[in-house]
Amino acid sequence: MTDLATSPTRGQSQAVRLLLRWSLYIALGFFVAIYLMPLFVMVTTSLKSLEEIRTGDLVALPREVTFDAWFTAWSGACTGIKCEGVQPYFWNSVLIAVPAVAISTLVGAINGYVVAQWRFRGANIIFALMLFGCFIPFQVVLLPMARVLGIMGIAGTIQGLIFVHVVYGLGFTTLFFRNYYVTIPIELTKAAKVDGAGFFRIFWSIFLPLSLPIIVVTVIWQFTQIWNDFLFGVSFSQAGTQPVTVALNNIVNSTTGVKEYNVDMAAAIIAALPTLLVYVVAGKYFIRGLTAGSVKG
Amino acid sequence: MTSPPRFSRGGVPHAGEQLMTKWLEDHLPKLMLAPSFVAVLVFVYGFIAWTAWVSLTRSRLLPKYEIEGFIQYERLFASPRWDTALNNLFIFGALFIVIAMALGLLMAILLDQNIRTEGAIRTIYLYPMALSMIVTGTAWKWILNPGLGLEAMVKGWGFEGFSFDWLVDPDMAIYTVVIAALWQSSGFVMALFLAGLRSVDGEIIKAAQVDGIPTWRIYTAIIIPSMAPIFLSAFIVLAHLAIKSFDLVIALTGGGPGFATDLPATYMYAMAFSRGDIGQAASSAMAMMAVVFAIVVPYLYSELRSQKND
């Protein structure tokens, strides 16, 4: 991309160009401030006492920094009747996300490998059917899934939620790996077959070593999706098995007692921390997943 | 994988075993794909069929399976609450999509001017996308609450007459959902557009500059029209997000005040899990499905076709 703003256009004086440049920075800075404001407000509110929140300014820095709200949010805040903070639900989310991410990524890798490299008749139709599954509004499967989880005996359990996330994550994980493996020449697989290597041998020693970037993209995508999920979490969990997003919503909307905004904010940050961390550490892969997940092709 | 049973005593494999291995070897790819295929058939298509079926029955607390016609849809479209939900989806969807695209394009163009700190700014514009909608809703609920939030702050600055109570105003509450959703997703649209701007042929732009065409004309006449496919993708993603919007409304307004910010997704959830009206839940889910179909199917179809032509 050529640089349009600094390229000399006829009749533009130095002063005008400088002015344009500064307005550009001001506009960009304005958006930066807007995007950071909610995070800033969340952090500062979580560090204030309730007294200071009532008397002070929304965007003011805390006069006195206190971590009380954080301790309460982690282990004392009430979700309905229980008052154990978000801690148990945070671990529920971990227990749900880790196996669900691992299984859906592994199965997606094998699926993508089959669809891209072992093209048999009908493979593309199967792929298209799976792809379409990514797009359905999940409301359309909630009712039957609730019944099937009951029949399987895993209604309201962590295993049930893992199962649901794996099933509805497969479309995306398959898509990611398929689109990655389709760029690897099929001749490679054919040559390996001629040399006597089998299905798993080829996957294990040729494709897997090439797959690190797409594994990272898929794991990050799935982790963000599953960690941030609310619909499945609220529909298919029960008192002890709720994920952290559901617990957060219960804390914020619990009607008993004084509204503790600082605790709400601390709990929200705790719930957001894992995915934020992933974004900060591996933002590049996160964005790649987003664009791959949205711009199909 | 279990290995095929061994029939032979010596080192020479039995003919039957050889056949078996050969068959497995040939069908292994299909066998590996089969479980996922079955899962998708049952849990996506089978479940859609189940919901469609139940939407044609008189099911209430428990599903019934005698087809009665379109009574649930008649009830649905006669329900004022569903009417509000659909209206809200239309207002929310239209504003969200149009403004997110405009903001995304603006930010992408601003960022595309050789900014030294581009990486850092991009990271900041995009981070809300990593957050759960529940977190976003919680944050904005606090910021927009009239008692202690933004309104109180501006009042505290001396503007006593300032009022910003959209969150608790039934006529305006849906716009707070738009604000929070824009904050969450516009950075993502920016990223899409930025990638698009970078893929425009630099030679054409240079030629236009040599010809003395003003910068804004280069954008409106050359660059933006060449990004048409990206506009389409952004539209699909945003429309899809809008229709599925559920968590954000739950966390921000809980569908209230009253039912003022109900969306089809929250309506469906309320019918399924708090009202015990499975028939209504199923028919509203099918209505959502129909909207998604209308948008996504032509897109997927054209995508798959263009892939074949490559």
- Chain A hits for B50, CB-CB cut-off 8 Å, are 143-144
Residues A61 and A92 in one domain: no
The verdict on residue A121 lying in a domain is yes
The verdict on residue B147 lying in a domain is yes
State the pLDDT at residue B9.
46
The verdict on residue B109 lying in a domain is yes
The verdict on residue A155 lying in a domain is yes
Between CA A284 and CA A265 the distance in angstroms is 28
Which residue out of B134, B153, B197, B273 would a mutagenesis test of the A interface target, given it has the greatest number of A Cβ atoms within 10 Å?
B134
The verdict on residue A6 lying in a domain is no
Confidence at B155, pLDDT banded by 50, 70, 90: confident
Between CA B15 and CA B66 the distance in angstroms is 54
Searching chain A, which residue's CA lies closest to the CA of residue B141?
Answer: A252
Between chains, do B153 and A58 touch, taking CB under 8 Å as contact? Answer: yes
State the pLDDT at residue A1.
45
Confidence at B4, pLDDT banded by 50, 70, 90: very low
The verdict on residue B11 lying in a domain is no
The verdict on residue A117 lying in a domain is yes
- What is the number of domains present in chain B? 1
Residues A266 and A134 in one domain: yes
Q: Are A5 and A22 in contact (CB under 8 A)?
A: no
A270-284, B37-51, B87-101: range with lowest mean pLDDT: A270-284
Higher pLDDT, B171 or B83: B83
CATH number, domain of A206, equals: 1.10.3720.10
Q: Is B288 on the interface with A (CB under 8 A)?
A: yes
The verdict on residue A254 lying in a domain is yes
> HSE of A247 in the Cβ direction (CA atoms, 13 Å)?
33
Confidence at A296, pLDDT banded by 50, 70, 90: very low
pLDDT tens, position by position, A56-96: 787 778 888 888 888 888 887 777 777 888 889 999 999 99
The pLDDT of residue B26 is above 90: no
State the pLDDT at residue A104.
96
Burial A245-262 (b: 16+ CB within 10 A, else e): bbbbbbbbebeeeeebbb
Residues A179 and A235 in one domain: yes
The verdict on residue B5 lying in a domain is no
Residues A283 and A172 in one domain: yes
Mean pLDDT of chain B: 85
Between chains, do A261 and B142 touch, taking CB under 8 Å as contact? Answer: yes
Between chains, do B50 and A143 touch, taking CB under 8 Å as contact? Answer: yes
Among A151, A116, A66, A22, residue whose Cα is nearest residue B42: A151
Question: CB-based contacts of B228: which residues, under 8 Å, 6+ apart?
Answer: none
List the domain range (segments joined by +) for residue A33: 14-66
CATH number, domain of B282, equals: 1.10.3720.10
Which residue out of B121, B131, B201, B249 would a mutagenesis test of the A interface target, given it has the greatest number of A Cβ atoms within 10 Å?
B131
Residues A27 and A135 in one domain: no
The verdict on residue B276 lying in a domain is yes
- Chain B hits for A7, CB-CB cut-off 8 Å, are 209
The verdict on residue B253 lying in a domain is yes
CB atoms within 10 A of CB B219: 18
The verdict on residue A172 lying in a domain is yes
- Longest alpha-carbon distance in chain A: 77
Among residues A66, A96, A127, the one where a domain terminates is A66
Between chains, do A58 and B205 touch, taking CB under 8 Å as contact? Answer: no
Nearest CA distance, B158 vs chain A (angstrom): 12
Helices (H) and strands (E) in chain B, counts: 15, 0
- Chain A hits for B248, CB-CB cut-off 8 Å, are none
The verdict on residue B115 lying in a domain is yes
- Smallest Cβ–Cβ distance between B138 and the set A34, A268, A275 belongs to A268
State the pLDDT at residue B13.
55
Q: Are A207 and A181 in contact (CB under 8 A)?
A: yes
Residues A100 and A230 in one domain: yes
Distance linking the first and last C-alpha atoms of chain A: 24
Mean pLDDT for the stretch of residues B235-264: 87
- % helix, strand, coil for chain A, step of 5: 70, 0, 25
Burial A113-151 (b: 16+ CB within 10 A, else e): bbbbbbeeeebeebbeebbbbbbbbbbbbbbbbbebbee
The verdict on residue A165 lying in a domain is yes
Residues A36 and A94 in one domain: no
The verdict on residue B21 lying in a domain is no
- What is the number of domains present in chain A? 2
State the pLDDT at residue B309.
56
State the pLDDT at residue A256.
66
The verdict on residue A56 lying in a domain is yes
pLDDT tens, position by position, A237-268: 988 899 999 999 988 887 666 788 888 999 99
The pLDDT of residue A8 is above 60: no
> What value of ipTM does the predicted structure carry?
0.88
Searching chain A, which residue's CA lies closest to the CA of residue B135?
Answer: A268
List the domain range (segments joined by +) for residue B162: 81-309
- Chain A hits for B201, CB-CB cut-off 8 Å, are none
Between CA A10 and CA A107 the distance in angstroms is 59
Nearest CA distance, B7 vs chain A (angstrom): 22
